[in-house]
Amino acid sequence: MNEYLAHLLDRNYSPATVRAYGYDLLAFCRWLSEQDLALERVGTDTLLDFLHACRQASVPGRPGPNVVSLDGQRLDRYAATTINRRLAAVSGLFTFVGLRDPAARNPVPKGREGRWQAAGERTGLLAHTTRRRKPRSALRLREPRRLPVALSPAQAATLVGSLRTWRDRAIAGLMLWCGLRSMEVLGLDVRDVDIGGRWITVTGKGAKQRRVPLDSDVASVIDVYLLAERPATEADRLFLVAKGPRRGQPLTAAGLRTIFRYHRGLTGVAGGHPHALRHTFGTVLAEAGVDLSVMQALLGQSPSSSLCK
């Protein structure tokens, strides 16, 4: 399993994905140990039992079985997305075993191939740019399809107005007016921002790079941050820790969550999460009638993926 996780890193999977798969495989191994089963004996029936155990398991730290959501679902159970991710981790493990041993059988059954996005994409002029969705296992659970939650103009103004440092304003501006993901913002280097040319070079999922127009107001905020607030350091990252023992080191995802958690409590904007600012950017583009392909290019989305993910 460690070799499989190392293989994912070699294939340029993000460290967060590899970490999540590692915990998923750890849960699978613990369940196999409780059932006194070896990995070589795992079959489709075994996977069905494992998925059933995941659906019945309680999440530590969640409210008890008497607390349910408005749709009647218990809040102490694992979400369908979590269980499907565990299935994907196990399926990928057996696929990796098959690469090393062609005689090994993958116990995860394959499902039907995904449908085309639209009727004309198969024979249209741009059909060669459209990728089929990968076949998904028949064991996958049905996941609820929820619309992205965006902030209203008043909520966005209240949240951004509560930010006091130029660094925090620049981070919020890049997500709200440029549509960047939080990890894309934290991964920016100083050389990635062309303030004079109003462009940003963004490295997204799968190390895919794209150029995003830089809003003039956000460019001004970044310029002031670089001149007046950014600590003197040899680090290449754009956004750094400003105070404390880690001063001058790159800002982490945990630090960014702490900032927004504090300002959510300060302003009372309950939905003021970092990713909500990106959703707000996509919603504004959609309401303005921007073409879907342009929106996908700005947001760094492939044609087959959901918007604002």
Question: What is the tens place of the pLDDT at every residue in 80-108?
Answer: 889 999 999 999 999 999 998 888 888 88
pLDDT in tens, 180-218: 999 999 999 999 999 999 999 999 887 888 999 999 999
Residues near 75 by Cβ (< 8 Å), separated by ≥ 6?
Answer: 62, 63, 67, 68, 69
- Least reliable range by pLDDT among 22-26, 39-43, 136-140: 136-140
Say yes or no: 96 and 189 in one domain.
no
Query: Is there a domain that residue 140 lies in?
Result: no
CATH number, residue 276: 1.10.443.10
Say yes or no: 76 and 119 in one domain.
yes
Say yes or no: 182 and 290 in one domain.
yes
- DSSP bridge partners of 237: 189
Say yes or no: 165 and 292 in one domain.
yes
Say yes or no: 99 and 199 in one domain.
no
Say yes or no: 199 and 280 in one domain.
yes
Say yes or no: 224 and 108 in one domain.
no
Query: Is there a domain that residue 147 lies in?
Result: no
Say yes or no: 165 and 267 in one domain.
yes
Query: Is there a domain that residue 165 lies in?
Result: yes
Distance CA 28, CA 4 (A): 15
Say yes or no: 6 and 68 in one domain.
yes
- Residue 116, pLDDT > 60, answer no
Give the per-residue pLDDT at 221. Answer: 95
Say yes or no: 123 and 157 in one domain.
no
Domain residues for the domain of 124 are: 2-129
Give the per-residue pLDDT at 267. Answer: 94
Say yes or no: 163 and 104 in one domain.
no
Structural domain count of the chain = 2
Give the per-residue pLDDT at 174. Answer: 94
pTM: 0.73
Query: Is there a domain that residue 35 lies in?
Result: yes
For the segment 163-170, the average pLDDT, to the nearest whole number, is 95
Q: Is 45 left (phi over 0), alpha (psi -120 to 50) or beta?
A: alpha
* Widest distance between CA atoms in the chain: 64
Say yes or no: 170 and 125 in one domain.
no
CATH number, residue 121: 1.10.150.130
- Residue 139, pLDDT > 90, answer no
For the segment 119-126, the average pLDDT, to the nearest whole number, is 48
